[in-house]
Structure formats: C-alpha cells, structure tokens
Chain A
Amino acid sequence: MLFENPPVPLDQLPALDPAVSQTLAPQALRVRLIGNAIFWIILLGAQTIGWALAFKGGQWAWYPLALLAWAGFWSFSRWLTKKRFQRERFALRERDLTHWKGFWWRKERTVPFVRVQHVAVEQGPIQKRFGICSLQVHTASSEGDLALEGLSLEDAERVKAFITLKTDADEPA
C-alpha cells in the first residue's frame, strides 16, 4: 500500500458536541447521597469520640457548635454532590466514548475504542440495591482509564457489548 497523507481542513474534522451527550441513571444520585451520608455519619462518630477523649467529660456545652459545623459541611457536601451529578454526562459515538464531570473543576476525557484494552462492569452492594453499576473502560495508559459510575445494569451491559464489538472489529486481522 502506498503511503498517503492528504491535507485535512481542521474545520471539517468531526467535532465532539456535548449537546448529544446523555446523563447517568437518576438512581446514581441516590446512591451517591447514601455514600455521602455514610461518610459524614462515620465522621460524626469520630468527631464525638475525639471530643470525648480531648475534653474528658467536660466542655460538652460547646458540642452543639461542633454539631452545627458538621451539619453545615454535610449540607454543603450534599449540595456539591447534586451539582456534580447534574453536570456529569457521557457521549457514546461510533468510535469513542467521552465523559464530562466536575462542577467547579471540570474534566472531559475521551477514549477511542481502538485503544480500549478491556471493559469491566462492577456493582457494589448499594448500587445493586438500586439496580445500577459502574462501567470501567481500561486503556494501555493507567492515567487514561475512564469510569462511568451510575449506569443502569442493562445500559452498562449494552455499552460494554457495543465497545467490545467495536474493539474486536478494530483488531488487526
């Protein structure tokens, strides 16, 4: 085969349009809020034990203030989790998968299917209760992996099958 390298006008390249993206399953937000609540309740336990050890029986009059601060941080964390979820999207195209996430610090990652090493579907106990799972797309670059945390199990299996089909089709004969 002769080597060919014709010029490509940049404005004619296929562009990636966030408007065609999709959101995660709505149950994913509930799973994240539950995970968030578990974290803050554990933190409350640690805070109470720490307070008891530090002040040895006294100073409980000020404890409501610490509780108030804890409640404030938890509310903020809940709000941030919701905002992040609202912004999180993904786009499945013929040849690649793109994931947008982050509320203040935004991140967009694209993985071409030709580079996918393997795809895994994982489901934790809380995710299982809500019928959702995580889809992990692995490449040869450890920093270039992509994870969609919060797809319905059926969607994840469909996306996995689609990517696997594309990856197999792209394998050199």
Chain B
Amino acid sequence: MSLPDRPDAHEFQHPTRQSAAALLLVFAQLFLNFIKQYWAFFLVILFRPASNRASFFGWVTLVLAAIVLVRSLVAFFTTSFRIEAGELILESGLLSRRKLSIPLERIQTVTFQQTFLHRLFRAVKIEIDTSGAQQKEFSLTALSMEKAQRLRAYLMAHRKEGEAAHTGQTDSRPEGQVLLRLDLDDLLKVGITQNHLRTTGILLGLGLGVFSELSQTLGKTFTNSLKDQWGYIYGHWTMLLLVFTAALVLLSFLVTLLRTVARYYGLEFVQSGQGFRLSAGLFTRHEQSISLPKVQMVKWSANPLQRKLGYYVLQIYQGGGLLAAAAASLKAPGCKAPQISAVLEGCFPQLNSEPWDPHPISSWYAQRRFLFLGLVPGVILVAAALLRESVNPLIFAAIWVPLTYFWQRQLQQSWSVQVNPTGIQLSYGFFTRYFRQSPWEKIQALTINQSPFQQRKGLCDVALHTASSTLEIPFVPLALAYRLRDYALWVVERRLGVETLRR
C-alpha cells in the first residue's frame, strides 16, 4: 500500500546535502582520531624536537593527514540524501558512486547524537537503523536540528501509518509523557551508587597500557627517571600499596561520578505512543528510541546502595538484527518503582496483569558452584600452606571457603523463575539484584543443556533466545524445563493466539 506524500516531504524529495557544520565536524573528528592514534608519537616529537627521524615522521604524518582531509572534503561535497518513491536514498562517493536505498517501512529507529561542536552549530548527527541490519545502516555527520527533526517526524509518521495500515488499528496511546527527568541532585546520587569496581578495573588497565606505551616509546629514559624520582618509595611497598589503593579508590569514585554526569546530564526519559525515547549527555547528547512492538525484554537491577535509595537501572532490549545487543538497548539509570511499572505496563501490558507462579532452582546449583569456587581453591591453599610451611594460605582458606559457601547459598536462594500464561520473569543476584521479563511470544529458539552431573540429578539449564538476548535459567528440574519448552513452543506456534496477543 503506497502512502500519499506529505506537504512537508517536498524538501527531502530533492538531493539534500549535510549541514555546513559537517565540514568542521569532519575536521575535528580527524584531528581527534590523529591525537588518539599517534599521541605517543607526538610525545616523542615534543621530547626530541631536534631529531631528524622525528621530523621525517612528522612530514609523513602531515602528508597522510592531508590525504585523509581531501578525502573527507570530497565525501562531504558528494554525499546527499533524498526521499523518493517510498525510499530513503543516500548517495556518496566521487569516483565510485555508492547508492543506498532503504524502504521507509523498514526503518526502525532514527537516533540523534549531539557532540559539543554539534551544539555550537545547532546540528545533530543522525543514525538510521533498519530491521535486519548488522550495523547502523545510514548515518549523516551533521544536519541542522530543525531539518533533522522534520526528517525524523516524516519518517516516523510514515512508519506509524504503515503499521496502522498493516494491523488495521490506530494508536491511541498518549504522546510524549515524561517518565523520568534527572536533575543534578539525582544525577549525583545515581553517580555515587554506580559500580565503582568496574571503573577501578578500567583505570588499572588504562594506567598499565599508558605505562607500557610510554616505556616502549621513550625507552629507558622514562623508566629510569621514574625510578630516580620514585625509587626511594620502592623500599616501603606496604606504604606504596596503601597510598596506591587509596588513590585508586578515590580516583575511581571521582571518574565514575564524572562519567555518570557526562553521560546522563539532562536525562529525559519519555514514553510516547510508539515506544520510549531517552536523551541525555553533557558534552555529547545522545538520543535513543525504542519501538514498542520491537521490545524483546525488559531488565532492571539494583545494587545494595541503589536498593537503599530506591533506585533501579532500567534496560529495554529491542530486536531488529543489530550485531551487538548493547547497541539495541536503552539504558535509564535512576529509575524508581513507578517508572519501572510504567515501562513494564507499556511494553507488556498483558504480562503484568496476571499472577506469577514462582519456581526455585535446585540447591545443587549452590553446591556445584561452591565446589569449583570454594572447595577447589581451598584445597589448593591448604596444599600451598603445607608445601611452603606457611600459615597465611590457611588463614586465607579459612576465610574464603565459608564465605564462598554463604555467597553461593544466598545466590541460589535468590533465584526465582516466575511464569504466567503470557511470559516469564527471572530474578536473581547476591549483591546486585537482577530482574528480567519477557513474553513467551518473543522467543526465537529454545535450548536445554545438560552436563553429566545434571543428567545424574535430573536437572538442566534452559536458554530462551529472543531477538535481542538470551534468558538463561540454571539448574531446573528436567520435568519443569520440558513443561516450559512445550508451553513456550505452543504459544509461539499457535499463530492466531500470537497475532491476538501482539495487539
């Protein structure tokens, strides 16, 4: 069914070039890429300005930069897009022309991204994602904000009409209801309650990477100068360790806080008739959209500190063939119970109106994990204590083994597989509690795995594959797994029922 053209579509019927700001943004992007790639090299030039070798490489770099720059200019002047006969067409290239046509009904999401430079020029980067694509299929470096909004409105309205024509129903849900807005106070609380250990790991990795890069680039002078300045402290390793740990913890905390503020500043989470939209960011403003019919799974989690403050991190997973599931998910930190309920109601209304039937997982889950994570390391520690005639490993084992038992026992008891006629909900977690919810009708395939031990005990692991991620249920009785499998297949395979549920 062809849709009539709108009056405001005329401006996109002729080839449209990107905003002039794109030119500057390409320069900036190139400059940053060069800095990122050759920062160690520039450091060498800085330290050894008289070196002939450095000046030779400097010229090579400049020539390379000039070539890439010319290519970018050509790309800018030869790239244009238009809407013609129900297709969005992108043309690019000078010598080898590339023409990409996307049928409008295949467009899933239109995402805006705004870096600091974009904001200066009131422009946005546009990424258009289609069903079945392995990556962002269509992207424009910069388009003026007004034009970009008009383009998105046109594409989304076209898709909405297409869906209504397909289902025979029109959408009567409210447009643009703000679910969550984070002010600076909330943002700081969200930042404080983030996972700081992850940042510690990243910082450690980054620090070691920079150190190794500098050592290789600057040779012995760098490590020798470090030894000269810091050598005296090597003799006091306990003090060094303490200072280093304290500094790392403080730095991790600050970095997480700053990253959170930079990533989620001005967060606005909006529920519209067609789905959800989230925009946030201090320097680069990201805008993500999720389309309701494409939502595969909703996940929310909270660590102990977040639970204390009543915060959850919400993630909505969308199908659509993207290679990386993370790229197809929308993440909103700082949500509270009412927002979680609103999202669940919006995504899966039928699923949350029915009572849940909870099932625990087998206690063998805890015992097996305790065996591998607790007992085996414990035995190794005891052996080490006997071989080295040292009491330290024994003390460590005496702490580690009971702690692991407690940890695994609590983890197993936290697991709950809740089912109802419409879907499944998993909840689990020791420190951080996770909740995942998905309707049966979203299941793409189903796997039952059994290790030799599980075969002896009549247990198995179940994996429910959706178009965005997999729900994994460990150590459930085989009989329950078969019931889940038969029911899930029945729901997916009775087409009439599935089509009814989709509405």
Interface positions of A (Cβ within 8 A of B): 1, 3-5, 7-8, 10, 13-16, 95-96, 102, 104-115, 117, 139-146, 170, 172
Measured in the bound complex, the distance between the Cα atoms of B491 and A14 in whole Å is: 11
CB distance from A155 to the nearest CB of B (A): 21
**Given known A-B contacts A3-B500, A107-B447, A139-B444, A114 and B490 have beta carbons under 8 A apart:** no
A144: B residues at CB distance < 8 A? 444-447, 465, 470
A140: B residues at CB distance < 8 A? 319, 321, 444, 467
CB distance from B493 to the nearest CB of A (A): 4
A141 near B444 with CB under 8 A, answer yes
A141: B residues at CB distance < 8 A? 444-445, 465-468, 470
Selected interface stretch from B251-259, B370-378, B449-457: B449-457
B465 near A95 with CB under 8 A, answer no
B321: A residues at CB distance < 8 A? 140
**Given known A-B contacts A5-B421, A114-B498, A115-B492, A107 and B486 have beta carbons under 8 A apart:** no
Measured in the bound complex, the distance between the Cα atoms of B166 and A106 in whole Å is: 42
**Given known A-B contacts A13-B486, A141-B466, A107 and B448 have beta carbons under 8 A apart:** yes
A16 near B485 with CB under 8 A, answer yes
Residue B489 at the chain A interface, CB threshold 8 Å = yes
> A5, A8, A105, A108 — which one has the most chain B CB atoms within 10 A of its CB?
A108
B455 near A109 with CB under 8 A, answer no
Q: How many A-B residue pairs have CB under 8 A?
A: 106
Residue B482 at the chain A interface, CB threshold 8 Å = yes
436-487 of chain B: CB within 8 A of chain A: 443-452, 455, 463, 465-468, 470, 482-483, 485-487
A110 near B485 with CB under 8 A, answer yes
A110 near B446 with CB under 8 A, answer yes
Measured in the bound complex, the distance between the Cα atoms of B494 and A114 in whole Å is: 9
B465 near A139 with CB under 8 A, answer yes
B150: A residues at CB distance < 8 A? none
B489 near A112 with CB under 8 A, answer yes
Residue B227 at the chain A interface, CB threshold 8 Å = no
User: Can you give 5 contacting A-B residue pairs, CB < 8 Å?
Assistant: A107-B447, A109-B446, A110-B445, A139-B445, A143-B465
Known A5-B421, A111-B444, A141-B466; 12 more pairs at CB < 8 Å: A13-B483, A13-B486, A14-B489, A14-B490, A16-B486, A16-B489, A105-B451, A109-B448, A110-B445, A139-B445, A139-B467, A144-B465
B132: A residues at CB distance < 8 A? 117
A102: B residues at CB distance < 8 A? 450
Measured in the bound complex, the distance between the Cα atoms of B490 and A101 in whole Å is: 23
Measured in the bound complex, the distance between the Cα atoms of B493 and A105 in whole Å is: 28
B447 near A8 with CB under 8 A, answer no
Residue B186 at the chain A interface, CB threshold 8 Å = no
Measured in the bound complex, the distance between the Cα atoms of B132 and A154 in whole Å is: 30
A142: B residues at CB distance < 8 A? 323
A95: B residues at CB distance < 8 A? 489, 493
Interface positions of B (Cβ within 8 A of A): 132, 166, 319, 321, 323, 350, 421, 443-452, 455, 463, 465-468, 470, 482-483, 485-487, 489-490, 492-493, 495, 497-500, 503
A110 near B465 with CB under 8 A, answer no
Measured in the bound complex, the distance between the Cα atoms of B492 and A95 in whole Å is: 10
B166: A residues at CB distance < 8 A? 172
A96 near B489 with CB under 8 A, answer yes
Measured in the bound complex, the distance between the Cα atoms of B374 and A100 in whole Å is: 33
A110: B residues at CB distance < 8 A? 445-447, 485, 489
List the A residue with the shortest CB-CB distance to B499.
Answer: A172
List the B residue with the shortest CB-CB distance to A106.
Answer: B450
A107: B residues at CB distance < 8 A? 447-450
Kindly identify which residue among A14, A105, A109 contacts B486, using a CB–CB cutoff of 8 Å: A14
A108 near B489 with CB under 8 A, answer no
List the B residue with the shortest CB-CB distance to A140.
Answer: B467
Measured in the bound complex, the distance between the Cα atoms of B467 and A102 in whole Å is: 25
Measured in the bound complex, the distance between the Cα atoms of B132 and A139 in whole Å is: 11
Measured in the bound complex, the distance between the Cα atoms of B486 and A4 in whole Å is: 20
List the A residue with the shortest CB-CB distance to B470.
Answer: A143
A111 near B493 with CB under 8 A, answer no
B493 near A146 with CB under 8 A, answer no
CB distance from B31 to the nearest CB of A (A): 36
Measured in the bound complex, the distance between the Cα atoms of B467 and A136 in whole Å is: 17
Measured in the bound complex, the distance between the Cα atoms of B500 and A7 in whole Å is: 15
B498: A residues at CB distance < 8 A? 114
Measured in the bound complex, the distance between the Cα atoms of B489 and A14 in whole Å is: 9
Q: What are the 4 tightest A-B residue pairs by CB atom distance, in nearest-first order?
A: A144-B445, A144-B465, A140-B467, A141-B465
Measured in the bound complex, the distance between the Cα atoms of B421 and A5 in whole Å is: 9
A105 near B449 with CB under 8 A, answer yes
Measured in the bound complex, the distance between the Cα atoms of B490 and A95 in whole Å is: 10
CB distance from B354 to the nearest CB of A (A): 9
A1: B residues at CB distance < 8 A? 500, 503
CB distance from B444 to the nearest CB of A (A): 4
B467 near A109 with CB under 8 A, answer no
> B166, B448, B489, B498 — which one has the most chain A CB atoms within 10 A of its CB?
B489
B445 near A104 with CB under 8 A, answer no
CB distance from A21 to the nearest CB of B (A): 14
B485 near A10 with CB under 8 A, answer no
List the B residue with the shortest CB-CB distance to A7.
Answer: B421
B493: A residues at CB distance < 8 A? 95-96, 112-114
Measured in the bound complex, the distance between the Cα atoms of B320 and A117 in whole Å is: 12
> A7, A14, A106 — which one has the most chain B CB atoms within 10 A of its CB?
A106
B465 near A105 with CB under 8 A, answer no
Measured in the bound complex, the distance between the Cα atoms of B482 and A1 in whole Å is: 32
List the B residue with the shortest CB-CB distance to A11.
Answer: B483
